[in-house]
């Protein structure tokens, strides 16, 4: 973990030397005067000062401490520090939702006259930000096929200041080569922003592959139990100080302390949840691939994934999402979904409960049929987010779904 030749016990003085599992249990903890074991929930809007002089000093940044929870809050700060330690980033800022994190990263950095290049296979709301919102404020945008390195290169202009993509993508699990795309972006000094939700921070560290900004919807695996919305942006101290800080402070997409507290507790179990979900997902992907009536199974951990070699290189696991196609189009897909007993129909993901969605009629309904075809999203396609139930029960549920679809 470190080339330092100090003994292990001395290295433990610095949280940066802790293993990820340890960081996720202890990282960032701020204890109050009561010495509570579990992180305290500071459900407060503001903070009081001992004197008018102290209030003045705090507003001048001369006295350390909190002022107002739109700017910072102790529980939210604990969450940010734990995320920062996990990702190995210089700085982290939490937001109210994943979309607030995406919007803040992009709009705090870009201005009228700039250009952003993005992979076409984007989460629906992210595509709205890049395709519709940015141009309204004079930020030009270009969408490319994320796996096509030549397309990224060709899209570069003199005013290109950011690349934005997700990998693996939703729902077709297409990968973008983070290192190769970062190299192209950095030739002209553009920043690389990665939405790392599908891979989770346990399976992929974009900063280590050359990315500059990592964005999460903490709503997904970080909470992981379907309760609260939240988001995070991880980047250099410079990016946070010069761009993100004022934007977040003045526009106010702050994470609620309550939600931060839930997320903090979620982080403690993130490694074991993701590991168990990946193991079950790998089993189910294999099971589905052997079934009659299933046309195609897409899973990043399977050698028949079209970019398996890249998945092996940049991810440390196959993930907990499987996308597959049933024969018989929308009718069969609906019959399949409606026959499930354990797996729930929901457009969410990363939950302890297994969830299925039909992208064509839900998450990707906003796109025109041609745009869906371009992304490889078919009418028989189903996205499965694997939870923590028994693999045998889930396999039996999928079998029942398939029987109903025939």
Q: Where do contacts with ligand PLP occur on this chain (CB under 6 A)?
A: 97-99, 123, 125-126, 166, 170, 195, 197-198, 217, 219-220, 229, 231
Calculated CA dihedral for residues 145, 150, 154, 158, nearest 10 degrees: 100
Q: Which is nearer to ligand PLP, 153 or 227 (CB)?
A: 227
The minimum distance between CB 138 and ligand PLP, in angstroms, equals 24
Q: Which is nearer to ligand PLP, 109 or 123 (CB)?
A: 123
The minimum distance between CB 125 and ligand PLP, in angstroms, equals 6
Task: Tell me: cis bond preceding 168? Omega within 30 of 0 counts.
Answer: yes
The minimum distance between CB 257 and ligand PLP, in angstroms, equals 17
Dihedral sign (CA 388, 390, 391, 397): negative
Q: Which is nearer to ligand PLP, 20 or 124 (CB)?
A: 124
The minimum distance between CB 127 and ligand PLP, in angstroms, equals 10
DSSP result, 152-183: HHHH--TTEEEEEEESSPTTT-----HHHHHH
The minimum distance between CB 240 and ligand PLP, in angstroms, equals 20
Q: Which is nearer to ligand PLP, 27 or 98 (CB)?
A: 98
User: What length does the chain have?
Assistant: 406
Q: Which is nearer to ligand PLP, 28 or 98 (CB)?
A: 98
Bridge partners of 350? Answer: none
- The distance in angstroms from the start CA to the end CA of the chain is 52
The minimum distance between CB 216 and ligand PLP, in angstroms, equals 8
CA distance 101 to 133: 15
DSSP result, 68-101: BTTT--HHHHHHHHHHHHHHT-SEEEEESSHHHH
Supply the DSSP symbol for 132: I
The answer to whether 283 and 244 have CB atoms below 8 angstroms apart is: no
DSSP result, 60-75: TT-S-S--BTTT--HH
Task: Tell me: cis bond preceding 128? Omega within 30 of 0 counts.
Answer: no
Q: Which is nearer to ligand PLP, 114 or 195 (CB)?
A: 195
The minimum distance between CB 117 and ligand PLP, in angstroms, equals 18
Rg value, the chain, Cα? 22
Q: Which is nearer to ligand PLP, 75 or 170 (CB)?
A: 170
Q: Which is nearer to ligand PLP, 23 or 220 (CB)?
A: 220
Q: Which residues contact residue 11 at a Cβ distance below 8 angstroms, ignoring those fewer than 6 apart?
A: 1, 2, 4, 17
Q: Which is nearer to ligand PLP, 100 or 402 (CB)?
A: 100
Residue nearest to ligand PLP (CB): 98
The minimum distance between CB 279 and ligand PLP, in angstroms, equals 21
The minimum distance between CB 383 and ligand PLP, in angstroms, equals 11
What three-state secondary structure class fits 314?
helix
Residue 335: what are its φ and ψ, rounded to 5°?
A: -60, -40
CA distances from 64 to 61, 67, 77 (A): 7, 10, 13
The minimum distance between CB 113 and ligand PLP, in angstroms, equals 26
Q: Which is nearer to ligand PLP, 384 or 405 (CB)?
A: 384
């Amino acid at each position: 973990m470190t080339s330092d030749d100090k003994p292990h016990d001395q290295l433990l003085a610095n949280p940066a030397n802790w293993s990820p599992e340890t960081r996720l249990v202890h990282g960032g903890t701020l204890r109050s005067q009561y010495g509570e074991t579990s992180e305290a929930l500071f459900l407060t809007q503001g903070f009081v000062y001992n004197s008018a002089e102290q209030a003045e000093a705090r507003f001048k940044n001369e006295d350390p401490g909190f002022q107002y929870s739109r700017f910072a809050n102790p529980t939210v700060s604990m969450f940010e520090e734990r995320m920062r330690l996990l990702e190995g980033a210089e700085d982290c800022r939490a937001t109210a939702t994943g979309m607030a994190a995406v919007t803040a990263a992009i709009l705090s950095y870009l201005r009228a006259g700039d250009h952003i290049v993005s992979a076409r296979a984007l989460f629906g709301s992210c595509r709205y930000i890049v395709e519709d919102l940015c141009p309204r404020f004079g930020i030009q945008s270009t969408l490319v096929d994320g796996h096509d390195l030549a397309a990224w290169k060709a899209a570069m202009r003199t005013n290109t200041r950011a690349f934005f993509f997700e990998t693996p993508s939703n729902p077709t699990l297409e990968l973008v080569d983070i290192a190769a795309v970062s190299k192209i972006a950095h030739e002209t000094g553009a920043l690389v922003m990665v939405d790392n939700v599908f891979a989770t921070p346990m399976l992929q560290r974009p900063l280590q592959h050359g990315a500059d900004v990592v964005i999460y919807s903490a709503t997904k695996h970080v909470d992981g139990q379907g309760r609260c919305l939240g988001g995070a942006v991880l980047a250099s101290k410079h990016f946070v100080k010069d761009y993100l800080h004022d934007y977040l402070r003045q526009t106010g997409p702050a994470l609620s302390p309550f939600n931060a507290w839930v997320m903090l507790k979620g982080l403690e179990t993130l490694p074991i949840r993701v590991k168990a979900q990946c193991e079950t997902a790998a089993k189910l992907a294999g099971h589905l691939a052997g079934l009659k009536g299933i046309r195609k199974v897409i899973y990043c951990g399977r050698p028949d994934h079209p970019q398996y070699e890249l998945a092996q290189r940049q991810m440390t696991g196959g993930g907990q999402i499987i996308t597959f196609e049933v024969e018989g189009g929308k009718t069969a897909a609906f019959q399949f979904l409606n026959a499930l007993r354990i797996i729930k129909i929901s457009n969410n993901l990363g939950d302890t409960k297994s969830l299925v969605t039909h992208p064509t009629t839900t998450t990707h309904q906003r796109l025109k049929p041609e745009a869906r075809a371009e992304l490889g999203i078919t009418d028989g396609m189903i996205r499965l987010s694997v939870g923590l139930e028994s693999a045998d029960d889930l396999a039996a549920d999928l079998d029942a779904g398939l029987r109903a679809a025939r």
